Amino acid sequence: MVSIIAAFQFLTISPTLIKRMFTSQEMGRAVGWFPLVGVVLGASLYVVNYAAQLIFPTPVSAALTLFAWVIFTRAFHLDGFMDTCDGLFGGWTPDRRLEIMKDSRMGAFGAAGGILVLLTEYAALQSISDASPPLNTSLFSALMLSTTLGRWASPLVIYFFPYAREDGLGIEMKRNVRVREVILATLIAGSTAWLISGWIGFLLMLGAAMIGLLVAFYAMRLLSGLTGDIYGTVTTLVEMLTLVFFTIS
């Protein structure tokens, strides 16, 4: 139970049930439960969208859903994506890129990347919502799979790729992730994908894995390893592209 609570407290604004710092072992085990956080997040966002569509037009309900998405996750992964854009595109050496990514100030690349991701997600949410009335099975599938698979792809790259720094929470978590966490995350994501979309869900899992690997390999060309910001980038891009997939008619 501690590892499940750690996963929710780490990735969302859920109430602080355990009011202490989690150990590195607990954080490592929490990685296996990341997709479960995605399942709960996706269901919560669908409830927000459904309630909003009962009152507001589709564009407003899509915006409110995206607003809730950012609030529920504390913009955690989005912030990592923007830091990654600043670092990878704004630096000329591995050390300088890592230095930029650690800087809390936002640069032009990060701002542009964040805006483009939010615009794409908003357009996708509106497009999917337009397909049918409030009880929208396509939107339910899109939200559930985007949040779940985004939090499944990150454990894959956490486990299989080296970490760039020798200190910080990321390296402690990385050192304590075992193959059992990857298997647990895969079982949660796979069962969710199958129950929601059948074979399409499995194809989307394959796509999520490919996105994670492509991001990780690209980052490894420019850095000595991955960072927490790269993990957030993987989650953000998988979420966005999964939503985009559901707009295909």
Per-residue confidence at 164, pLDDT binned at 50, 70, 90? Answer: very high
Q: Look at the chain and count its residues.
A: 249
Q: Tell me the C-alpha distance between 97 and 38, whole Å.
A: 30
Break the chain down into helix, strand, coil percent, rounded to 5: 80, 0, 20
28-69 pLDDT, tens digit each: 999 999 999 999 999 999 999 999 999 999 999 999 999 999
Q: What mean pLDDT do residues 155-171 have?
A: 88
Q: Tell me the C-alpha distance between 137 and 6, whole Å.
A: 31
Helices (H), 198-227: 199-222
238 closest CA partner among 58, 42, 47, 101 = 42
Q: Tell me the C-alpha distance between 112 and 87, whole Å.
A: 13
Percent of the chain, pLDDT > 90? 83
Report pLDDT for 21.
85
Per-residue confidence at 131, pLDDT binned at 50, 70, 90? Answer: low
186-245 pLDDT, tens digit each: 999 999 999 999 999 999 999 999 999 999 999 999 998 999 999 999 999 999 999 999
Convert 79-109 to b/e letters by CB count within 10 Å (16 or more is b).
bbbbbbbbbbbbbeeeeebbebbeeeeebeb
pTM score, whole prediction: 0.95
Percent of the chain, pLDDT > 70? 97
Q: What mean pLDDT do residues 64-75 have?
A: 97
Report pLDDT for 124.
97
Residue 51 corresponds to which amino acid? A
Q: What mean pLDDT do residues 70-94 have?
A: 95
Q: What mean pLDDT do residues 144-151 have?
A: 98
The residue written with tokens 């980038």 in the block is 233
Q: What is the mean pLDDT of the chain?
A: 93
Report pLDDT for 94.
93
